[in-house]
Amino acid sequence: MESASSRLADVNANIARACKPARRAPAEVTLIAVSKTHDAPAIRPLIDAGQRVFGENRVQEAGAKWPALREAHPDIVLHLIGQLQSNKADEAVALFDAIHSLDRPSLLTALARAMDKAGRQVPCFVQVNIGDEPQKGGCPLANLPAFLAEVRATAIPLAGLMCIPPAGTEAAPFFALLAKLAADHGVTGLSMGMSGDYETAVILGASHVRVGTALFGAR
Ligand SMILES: *Cc1c(COP(=O)(O)O)cnc(C)c1O
């Protein structure tokens, strides 16, 4: 099996290659290494290879793994990319440096309160239900303008928009739509692209790509 450092080098090279036709600089793209379900021995080689930005989708799992890993590397940056329940807002604010799943007013209220209490403002991406899928998380497209206004009325730094395109479809049109929505609403960050489509996301303007399988192997 390929080593973690060579997989990391491959992903970074692919990001740099995708930047070229888009006339973007690779430094404009942050690679979030999605380490969910992987344990510390699987994560350490990537840290040793220089990766510092990681993503987790569960507060509890991240809380169990990361404090120890971070002790040796205080410069590690941790992103929450999964759905967040309002009752875990305090824990999430204490643990994460960015949150990608802000998608509803009740969570906005809980996060604003948790951040005030902690004296720590954590940048948040507003997750958009880009395919208008009934069961999926994310702010419905129709509610996005009003919800962005609500977010902007708080002290929470708005980091950008985030999406997970519908499974089994071509992702590019959804990435392009997210980029259009961000431009229309004056938002700069774009969290989009996973192992199967991160190069496409980079070409279409992603500021953050969330890559798990291509770095860690299958879960
Ligand atoms: C798991 C996950 C990823 C990474 O997916 P891979 O296909 O393994 O790269 C990205 N984003 C979110 C929201 C995820 O839950």
What is the per-residue pLDDT across 86-107, written as a single tens digit (0 to 9) for each? 999 999 999 999 999 999 999 9
What is the whole-number distance in angstroms between the Cα of residue 200 and the centre of ligand 1? 15
One-letter-per-residue 3-state SS of 131-190: CCCCCCCCEEHHHHHHHHHHHHCCCCCEEEEEECCCCCCCCHHHHHHHHHHHHHCCCCEE
What is the whole-number distance in angstroms between the Cα of residue 98 and the centre of ligand 1? 16
Tell which atom from ligand 1 comes closest to the C-alpha of 36.
1
CATH code for position 136: 3.20.20.10
The residues near 173 (Cβ < 8 Å, ≥ 6 apart) are none
The residue range of the domain holding 172 is 4-216
Banded pLDDT at 219 (limits 50, 70, 90): confident
What is the whole-number distance in angstroms between the Cα of residue 32 and the centre of ligand 1? 10
What is the whole-number distance in angstroms between the Cα of residue 193 and the centre of ligand 1? 8
Residue whose CA is closest, atom 4 of ligand 1?
212
Query: Tokens representing 95?
Result: 């643990």
Q: At what angle do helices 105-118 and 144-152 cross, to 10 degrees?
A: 20
Above pLDDT 90, what percent of the chain?
Answer: 97
Angle ∠(50,97,148) on CA atoms, nearest 5: 130
Cβ < 6 A, ligand 1 pocket: 34, 36, 57, 81-82, 164, 194-195, 210-214
Banded pLDDT at 2 (limits 50, 70, 90): confident
Q: What own/partner pairs with CB < 8 Å and gap ≥ 24 does 179-184 have?
A: 179/204, 179/205, 181/128, 181/141, 181/144
- The total number of structural domains in the chain stands at 1
Q: List, for residues 139-190, the tens digit of each pLDDT value.
A: 999 999 999 999 999 999 999 999 999 999 999 999 999 999 999 999 999 9
Q: Is residue 56 pLDDT above 80, yes or no?
A: yes
Residue whose CA is closest, atom 7 of ligand 1?
195
The reported pLDDT for the residue numbered 146 is 98
Tell which atom from ligand 1 comes closest to the C-alpha of 34.
4
The reported pLDDT for the residue numbered 43 is 97
Q: What is the pTM of this model?
A: 0.98
Tell which atom from ligand 1 comes closest to the C-alpha of 214.
9
**Mean pLDDT, the chain, as a whole number?**
97
216, 8 contact by CB (below 8 A): no
